[in-house]
Amino acid sequence: MSDQADAAWEVVDQVSNGQIILHGNSMGSMVAMQMAHKQPARVPALILSGTGYLPTRDAMKVWAKRYAEEGLELRYKQCLDHFSPPAQNLPHVQYYARMVCELNNPSTLQSIIGMNEALARDPEPDSFFDELTMPTIIISGTADRNHQAAKDLHAHIKQSIFKEVPGAGHAVMQEAPWLYDDYCIELLSKLGLWPGEPPQASR
């Protein structure tokens, strides 16, 4: 995660050397937290979803083992697993899962296994979360397998607020983008980071 955060900052630096609002979902939330930890002065707000406090990372060990045993056929199932059970049957969700799988190449399987093995080896210490002092919002779907872990993460990041989306799964911003956007815009407006007048909330 630390290496990915460094690489992400290198990309950002090609565009701007100023402050940026960071957003990350699922594994991206881990990268976003690492980025914020490395350069906190450049992060006026942090938006996290599909995330959680996972001190043991047992789920990553399971995914690494399953991919080693089942191969890339598992990727479609994992993509659907990001959504709540009702959403998994929707045509556009299944299309999304197929689209992700079309990105597979000969190195994809070993990359996925290696990534999950690395995640399982290197959980962040509690002190890491204590040092994330920028305004942070954690958005979690109530049907997300990590929903309780997201609440636990909120308890570990002292400057965070917690919002939940009823019935949504791990890919909460895809299942309920209207509510997700409302929560983000509400925070950014309070911080003076939203350009212009905020739109009328949908909820």
Mean pLDDT of 111-135: 92
Mean pLDDT of 64-93: 96
- Of the listed ranges 2-11, 114-123, 181-190, the least confidently predicted one is 114-123
Phi (first) and psi of residue 196, to 5 degrees? 75, -165
pLDDT of 46 = 98
- pLDDT surpassing 90 at residue 25: yes
> Got the DSSP string for 29-44?
HHHHHHHHHH-GGG-S
- pLDDT surpassing 70 at residue 81: yes
pLDDT of 160 = 98
Sorted by where each begins, the domain ranges of the chain are 2-11+21-54+132-190, 58-119
In the chain, pLDDT over 70 holds for what percent of residues?
99
pLDDT band at 1 (very low <50, low <70, confident <90, very high): confident
pLDDT band at 105 (very low <50, low <70, confident <90, very high): very high
Residues 152 and 61 sit within 8 Å (Cβ to Cβ):
no
In the chain, pLDDT over 90 holds for what percent of residues?
88
Residues 96 and 43 sit within 8 Å (Cβ to Cβ):
no
Query: Domain 2-11+21-54+132-190 is classified in which CATH homologous superfamily?
Result: Alpha/Beta hydrolase fold, catalytic domain (3.40.50.1820)
- pLDDT surpassing 90 at residue 174: yes
Q: Report the C-alpha gap between 158 and 66 in whole angstroms.
A: 35
pLDDT of 57 = 86
Averaged pLDDT score across all residues of the chain? 94
pLDDT of 32 = 97
pLDDT of 203 = 64
Q: For the whole model, what pTM was predicted? A: 0.93
